[in-house]
Amino acid sequence: MVKLEEVIDIPKFSNQLENKVLYSNHSDDISISYDSTYTLKYVIEGVKHYSFNNQNIEVSKNQYLILNNNSRITTNAKRGTKGLSFFLSPKLINEVYSYHTNTKPQPEFLEVIQKQTNNNVSLLLEKITHLYEKDSITFKNQIDHLFIRLSETIIQEQINIDHKFSALKIIKHNTKKELFQRVSLAKEYLNDNVSNTVSLEKISSNIGISKYYLHRLFTEINGITPLEYLTSIRLEKAKNRLRYSKCSIFEIAIECGFDNISYFSNTFKKHIGSSPTQYRNNV
């Protein structure tokens, strides 16, 4: 049975070692330290600061962080900060990990901030948050199911990451963590520069590795090249603008980073299956 705890002021606990969902909506600035099991920290509003294992990490709105078992955590947050914490017992994590891998070693997560992307964990966190805030009855009825599903999704994505690093013949945990963080920074850079001219040289300079290694690493981890990823997020933005704005096709093309309307139209039709005009008329 998964417990639900709701905190408005300063939490009064010294440890969090069981399967639990904790919702926090701080009415004042807080600072608290506690011992914890495996934990997923998701920020809904504001910014939270976490200190653990000689690390200091800032997690902002729509970002999440997974911490390993036996962590001593210090949390700092300003008034008005909202978030969900999922405390996952070692027993549950080990059972899920063993089921999917047929091995018994405990998983070791990378403890790297995850941005708001289309990965399965992010999508599930958005769903859980929506249910909690908009449909509390359904949330409480499904809390056990959602908790186990989140546990499985976390493990599956960790296994997937490990397999990709194995293909790159990278074994050391700290090396995986550093490189995964750089790939995450590359994705963040691309998302922040959808409307701008972007090159491998600019990205590699921004994150501090060679463009050749960046291309290989990004492709291995994400399954697509940096250029393909950039094209996909530009097209998603274009679809949204075509659906909800009255801007011209030319204006949308430029806003979404395409040099000219002809290139935009050809790329849009190739990936979406219809021209921008046809798409706008059919939605």
Same domain, 149 and 242: no
275 backbone dihedrals φ, ψ, rounded to 5°: -75, 160
Same domain, 142 and 244: no
Same domain, 75 and 150: yes
Convert the pLDDT of each residue in 112-171 to its tens digit: 888 756 588 999 999 999 999 999 999 999 999 999 999 999 999 888 888 888 888 888
Residue where a domain terminates, one of 149, 167, 185: 167
Number of domains comprising the chain: 3
* CATH code of the domain covering residue 270: 1.10.10.60
Same domain, 121 and 147: yes
Residue 72 bridge partners (DSSP): 35
Contacts of 269 (CB under 8 A, 6+ apart): 275
Same domain, 146 and 199: no
Q: Under DSSP, is residue 58 helix (H, G, I), strand (E, B) or coil?
A: strand
Tell me the C-alpha distance between 227 and 70, whole Å. Answer: 40
Same domain, 210 and 259: no
Q: Amino acid identity, residue 245?
A: S
Convert the pLDDT of each residue in 15-32 to its tens digit: 888 999 999 999 899 999
Question: Are 251 and 214 within 8 A, CB to CB?
Answer: no
Convert the pLDDT of each residue in 231-269 to its tens digit: 999 999 999 999 999 999 999 999 999 988 999 999 999
176 backbone dihedrals φ, ψ, rounded to 5°: -60, -45
CA distances from 211 to 116, 189, 194, 201, 263 (A): 24, 14, 19, 6, 25
Same domain, 149 and 264: no
Same domain, 63 and 202: no
Residue where a domain terminates, one of 126, 148, 167: 167
Domain hosting residue 150, numbered range: 3-167
Q: What percent of the chain has pLDDT over 70?
A: 99
Is the pTM for the entire model greater than 0.85? Answer: no
Same domain, 149 and 255: no
Tell me the C-alpha distance between 156 and 89, whole Å. Answer: 17
